[in-house]
Amino acid sequence: MLQNIMAVATTLHILSVIVWIGGMFFAHMALRPVVANLLEPPIRLQVMAQVLERFFLWVWIAVILLWATGLWIIFGFFDGMASIRISVHIMFSLAAIMTALYIYIFFIPFPNLRLAISTENFKQAGQYLAKIRSIIGFNLLLGIITVIIATGGRYF
Ligand code: HEM
C-alpha cells in the first residue's frame, strides 16, 4: 500500500516539476528571445500575454499538485516533517519562495500587463512584461537548484 502511495505521488510530483520548470525553461530560453527579435511591441506583448495566460493555468495545476503530493509523501510515507532529510527541507523552502513569487506574478504584474495592453499603453505593458520575465528567470534558477538538491541531495 505504502509503495502504491509513493508510486502515484512521486509520479504526479515529477510531472508537475516537468510542467512548471520545463515550461519556464522553454518560455525564458527559447520563446522570449525569438519573439523579442521578430515581433514589434504591440503584437509581441499580446503574444507573450496570451502565452503566459495559457501557461499559468498549467502552473496552477502543477503548483497545487506539487504541494499536495509533496505533503502526501511527507505525511503518508515518511513520518512527518521531523523525519525528512535536509534535502527535502531545502526543497520545501525553495518551493515556498517559488510559489510566493508565482502568486505575486499572477496577481500583480500579470493583470497589470493585460490592463496596459487592453488600454494600448504598450510602454507600460513592456515594463510589466520585463518584470514578469526577470521573476520567471529567477524562479527558473531556483527551480533548477531545487531539482539538483532534490535528486542529488539524497546521496549526501
Ligand atoms: C518547484 C518545487 C519542487 C521541485 C522542483 C521538486 C522536485 C523534486 C524531485 C526532482 C523529487 C525526486 C527526488 C528523487 O526521487 O530522486 C522530489 C521528491 C520529493 N519532494 Fe519535491 N519538489 C518540489 C516541491 C516540493 C514540495 C512543495 C514538497 C513538500 C511539500 C516536496 C516534497 C518532496 C518529497 C517528500 C519528495 C520525496 C523525497 C524522497 O523520496 O527522498 N517537494 N521533489
Q: Which of 12, 86, 91 best tests ligand 1's pocket when mutated (most atoms within 8 Å of CB)?
A: 91
pLDDT reading at 154 higher than 90: no
Q: How confident is the model at residue 142 (pLDDT cuts 50, 70, 90)?
A: very high
pLDDT of residue 38: 97
Instruction: Mean pLDDT check: name the lowest of 41-55, 75-89, 136-150.
Output: 75-89
- Cell numbers standing for residue 54: 495559457
Q: What is d(CA 60, CA 41) in angstroms, rounded to the nearest whole number? A: 28
Pocket lining for ligand 1, CB < 6 angstroms: 13-14, 17, 21, 66-67, 70-71, 73-74, 88, 91-92, 95, 98, 143, 146-147, 150-151, 154
pLDDT confidence bin for 156, thresholds 50/70/90: confident
**Separation of CA 128 and ligand 1 centre (Å):** 31
CB neighbours (10 Å) of residue 33?
10
Rounded to whole angstroms, what are the CA distances from 62 to 37, 41, 91, 141? 30, 30, 15, 17
Work out which ligand 1 atom sits closest to the CA atom of 154. Answer: 41
Dihedral sign for Cα atoms in the order 18, 23, 26, 28: negative
pLDDT band at 1 (very low <50, low <70, confident <90, very high): confident
Put simply, whether the predicted model's pTM sits higher than 0.85 gets the answer yes
Residues 87-104 have pLDDT tens digits of: 999 999 999 999 999 999
* Distance from residue 61's CA to the centre of ligand 1 (Å): 16
Which residue is listed with cell 542529488? Answer: 152
Residue located nearest, by CA, to atom 15 of ligand 1: 151
Q: Distance between terminal CA atoms of the chain?
A: 28
Q: In the block, which residue shows the cell 504591440? A: 42
Alpha-carbon separation of residue 60 from 17, 41, 52, 56, 106 (angstroms): 12, 28, 12, 6, 10
